[in-house]
Amino acid sequence: MSEKIFYPEYSKHYPLLVKNCLKKPMMLFPNETAMVYRNDEGQYLRFTWREWLERTCKLAHAMKTLGVKEGDRIATMALNHHWHMENIYASICSGAISHPINMRLSLDHMTYTINHAEDKIIFFDADSLLTLEALYDRIKDKVELFVYMSDKPGLPETSIKPLYNYEELIKDEPSTYDWPDLDEDTHAVLYYTTGTTGLPKGVLYTNRQVYLQCIFFLLRRGAALRMPGDPPPPDDWIPMMNVPLFHIHAWGAPFYYVFEGVKIVFPGKFTAESFCELVHNEKVTQTSLVPTMLAMLVEYEDIGKWDLSSLIQVTIGGGALPLGLKLKAEKLFPTMNATSGYGMTETMAGCVGNILTREMREWPKEKVDQVLVKTGFPYIPGVEARVVDEDGNDVPRDNETIGEIVVRGHWIMEQYYKDPEKTAAVWRDGWLHTGDVAKMDELGYMTIADRITDVIRSGSEMVPTVLLENLTSNAEFVLEAAYVGVPDDKWGETPLALVRKTPDSSPSEEDILTFLQKEGVDTGKITRWMLPVYVAFVKDILKTSVGKYDKIAIRKQLDEFMDVAKRVRKT
């Protein structure tokens, strides 16, 4: 018997690799549409599975020619489109690591993630050119080369170098690639947190973890309970990928969508009009949105001119789903079922999801809706989630007692990249401590109550209050500053700044905004959406016994602070 035969090793330990996601669509649907991209000019680009995979293979050859080796970090700064998907698969399946850069971080934090990851190549598109130019002098000594992704010939006028054109790079490369049989524990993706408590933290995941999350998420769909009046499932699921790929690869969407072999629709920049046009034209059946996107659709005046009847499933993440917003949206989309879930960078997207039990079939819709806007139930196969007190004991299911969410499972992060101290701080007693506080009801459904770090969630983004407080306090006319979130129908929360002025100074509320714009936004320390919407000058800021800002006490008196606050910008 030849020594090269893999039995029984491949029988017992068949490697779970991302490349296996490519098998089904190529075997069953090679000539069916794989991806549709609507660019900013309203043009549609379409690719079959055969065409898209051939382009992916060409890119893998090109990357090899450029010197990419196993373990190299390959970064992307781009919208959601077929180029981005080609990069993800060419990188991972050849043994490199896909690193989608969060373009909504401050310039300081983006610089840190690129240099910390030691990205070898950055792929970027026209929409990220200006941002990359602003970063270039701070990263050019680490990044070896840059690749411009566009359907237009040539290169943009820029100081970025060495610079290659994507289409020219892959044009003459072979259209097939012998993907290696990697060890399933080969790292596949690298994500960074949003840096709400300091610098962003890197999280690596292996091929095995990505593949397991992919197939377990598909199993999750089969576990969903059908309710009376639910529309029948479509003959073909057609998803639209709205969540940015830099948000944990759009919550894992590139992997389970490709595994299924469904037609994937990309809107480019999200607008209410482009969303509706694509649902109308491509008969989109499902999508994922953050609450802000859903609010934009509710506010869209021309929504009635589009046929949106194909859309039957919308998953909400990145923030709580307000009941009022859910009800307003479902009036516009009568066949839509909007639900919520929970996850974070350290859990590679979802680890808690919303699901109904059989007994709820008999419940009135109003009561069911109250369940669907909760954070969810820890039922997702492959992971465990609990809410525990300071001693690690489960909190009572009384919908009042709060505790910390802890998780573990197949695709929960192993460690922070190059940071053993922070890893040790979150992994305790065999559980990853998320830093999110929640309560449990009598049925076992979780509801997020707060973030231990007091972060403000605005849309799908998290506003780091410590960064804002430190920056605001740098103003010569500011003695102290604290930030809390104010409830907002559109964004979930918007920032309120509580400011103590220095003696004998008399700044206006607008002076706070002007200072933060100049010293924060213009210098890359913060982004514009982090700026306070409200500013309140106060005589004192409530503190704990150890001198920290008492955010719980501040929130209890929020109405009093809002009475004296002034709105300083529109959202």
76 vs 502, residue with greater confidence: 76
Please tell me which residue, 7 or 508, carries the higher pLDDT value. 508
Of 186-195, 374-383, 557-566, the one with minimum mean pLDDT is 374-383
Other CB atoms closer than 10 Å to residue 60's CB: what's the count? 27
pLDDT above 90 coverage of the chain, percent:
58
What mean pLDDT do residues 476-481 have? 84
- The closest alpha carbon to 539, from 559, 519, 560, belongs to 560
∠ CA 250-256-262 to the nearest 5 degrees?
Answer: 105
> Residue 437's CB: how many other CB atoms inside 10 A?
15
Cα–Cα distance for residue pair 76/475, rounded to 1 Å: 36
Residue 545, pLDDT score = 39
Structure tokens given for 13? 């330990």
Domain annotation for the chain: domains and CATH numbers: 21-205 (3.40.50.12780), 270-451 (3.40.50.12780), 456-567 (3.30.300.30)
If one counts every other C-beta atom within 10 angstroms of the C-beta of residue 148, the result is 26
Taking a C-beta distance cutoff of 8 angstroms, is the pair 269, 127 a contact?
Answer: yes
- Phi-psi sector, 149: left (phi>0), alpha (psi -120 to 50), beta: beta
> What does the mean pLDDT of the chain come to?
89
Rounded to two decimals, the pTM is 0.82
pLDDT at 93: 98
pLDDT the model gives residue 33: 97
Q: Please write the tens of the pLDDT for every residue from 535-559.
A: 999 988 887 634 567 887 898 899 9
Mean pLDDT of 367-390: 88
Residue 225 has pLDDT above 70, yes or no: yes
Predicted confidence at residue 405, as pLDDT, reads: 94
And the tokens for 22? 């490519």
pLDDT digits (tens, 9 = 90+) for 233-260: 888 899 999 989 998 899 899 999 999 9
